[in-house]
Structure 1
């Protein structure tokens, strides 16, 4: 149930969302505000754009914003360190490995001896899962049998288009543009995760808010979740909803637009509480692969991490 709408609009609580200026989460948030889904669920959403993720995190920590977006493993690390962050599911969209259209590779094993471009660093979660998969499936140490080149997502994207790499790992929306240009997805992180016994319906990305903020506004997490789900339903079922936000999508061609839309919709998680046992299994794997540098003190799911939304 959402919050009961107060009689006066000024009485509605406000959620200040700190987001990347060009982040794909803006597609959902714009759908919420432009269709009045926030006010219909008893709150007002204010979107504050930032240039980078560190800015959004500082804003929430310092009280200049009430909400930002992160993967739940990062949120778990913060909660284990004493911050009262609570995670609300947003998306299960993940990346994968794309290869040039001219490549003859059929499996990760075929990338041995080649160069892999990775958006992020050695602790990138997609890279870690793919390493674990290669080890299990092919008895292959992907790290030692390939050369890794780490870089910012746009740089990896551009280098991939130039066929500089045998394979590339990037965020899902950059990979969508790679695929729209004719590149081939060798394997997705979702496929690799399934092979490792992980529940890939666990939403990796979500909104996080302070528990103290939510305590001051009882029921607000469910109200926001209702608005989020309503936006997802609209985007999953209405072409007009996408036409409205297309200017925000940075899609240079119709092929990019179609692929971005299809992959975003594919990332919509089931409407269900997060399976904590499944999440704990994933966290254990991340702890084994990345150690404290990745998960900090979160070797198991911290109590209260996942918002009680249904």
Structure 2
């Protein structure tokens, strides 16, 4: 009888544990396999910040941003990383997507240390390598800055070479192009390799009356998920903030992450850590008036090809104060 009671107790314990596990929701995020966001997601998982906030984080590595968007729009992922301008475009088109801030890190235009260029006007006649395409947000902001400060049409007075970030990185480091605009982490490596920043995008944005504190990159979730399971979305936002706090203050955490950071030397490693930390957005709501000004400028530069029907900031674009 005692033996039977023991078995029964064990069965009940297993059933209770199984029910407990079943009640923990899984949040699926699709991100670039080797993107810098993985450093934050790795921190969340390693320190079980997901479990502490009531969910289980499942990271799906994809080959590119387009693949992530396909997975998200097809319901195979709950979260992706994109910029809020894309979210604004989707909302204007009737898709209920919401942006949770991740990073304000942006790149800049970089030249070799011995380049004669001292300002944007000196780039006239040069070949510029640009990560992305003609509608890259950094490129558009820098074009507006050159026009305002140097009466210069950067697009017509330079030759542009568009390509993937690693290709632009290689072309810049080899001297194949005279200047380069790349994602922030490649820019950090270029700086560590001896290149210098002619002007960074945040400086150009400030000069244009924009707020460089507005986070450009973030996590994107569906409004439906927020309505049906707000605790899950807010729990993810809390886990993200907790990971940021660790990465902002704990050097040992970066030592743990270093094997995943693709840093070839100490200088690159230090530049990547500093760049990530500089990109951590302040806690609190996003200034929607400042975001609206940025969107209006970007629409004036990229038009409907960039922003579709989003001529003004759609209501509900940002997750504000957990709602």
RMSD: 1.1
How far has the Cα of 1:165 moved from its partner?
A: 1.6
SS of the aligned residue for 1:197 comes to coil
Aligned to 2:209: 197
Aligned to 1:3: none
Alpha-carbon displacement from aligned partner over 1:173-218 (angstroms, at most 9, x marks no partner) = 1111100101111110000000000011000000001111222212
TM-score normalised by the chain length of structure 2 = 0.92
> Contact (CA 8 Å) 1:225, 1:309: kept in 2 or not?
no
Q: How does 1:58-137 map to 2 (within 5 A)?
A: 58-137=70-149
**2:165 aligned to which of 137, 153, 160:** 153
Query: Normalized per residue, which structure has more helix?
Result: 2
Provide the rounded CA distance (Å) in 2 between the counterparts of 1:205 and 1:212. 21
How far has the Cα of 1:222 moved from its partner?
A: 2.0
> Contact (CA 8 Å) 2:225, 2:233: kept in 1 or not?
no
> Contact (CA 8 Å) 1:71, 1:204: kept in 2 or not?
yes
Provide the rounded CA distance (Å) in 1 between the counterparts of 2:234 and 2:209. 30
SS of the aligned residue for 1:45 comes to strand
Alpha-carbon displacement from aligned partner over 1:220-267 (angstroms, at most 9, x marks no partner) = 222111111110110111111111211111111111111001001000
TM-score normalised by the chain length of structure 1 = 0.96
Provide the rounded CA distance (Å) in 2 between the counterparts of 1:107 and 1:274. 32
Aligned to 1:295: 307
How far has the Cα of 1:9 moved from its partner?
A: 4.0
How many positions carry a matched residue from both structures?
304
> Contact (CA 8 Å) 1:92, 1:205: kept in 2 or not?
yes
Q: Which has the larger radius of gyration?
A: 2
**1:219 aligned to which of 214, 228, 231:** 231
SS of the aligned residue for 1:272 comes to coil
**1:230 aligned to which of 239, 242, 252:** 242
Q: Does residue 35 of structure 1 match 2:42?
A: no
SS of the aligned residue for 1:148 comes to strand
Provide the rounded CA distance (Å) in 2 between the counterparts of 1:238 and 1:136. 41
How far has the Cα of 1:30 moved from its partner?
A: 0.4
How far has the Cα of 1:219 moved from its partner?
A: 2.8
Structure 1 residue ranges, 4+ long, deviating more than 4 angstroms after superposition: none
Provide the rounded CA distance (Å) in 2 between the counterparts of 1:67 and 1:218. 14
> Contact (CA 8 Å) 2:126, 2:159: kept in 1 or not?
yes
Provide the rounded CA distance (Å) in 1 between the counterparts of 2:225 and 2:123. 48
Aligned to 1:177: 189
Provide the rounded CA distance (Å) in 2 between the counterparts of 1:53 and 1:136. 32
> Contact (CA 8 Å) 1:38, 1:227: kept in 2 or not?
yes
> Contact (CA 8 Å) 2:40, 2:240: kept in 1 or not?
yes
How far has the Cα of 1:309 moved from its partner?
A: 3.2
SS of the aligned residue for 1:47 comes to strand
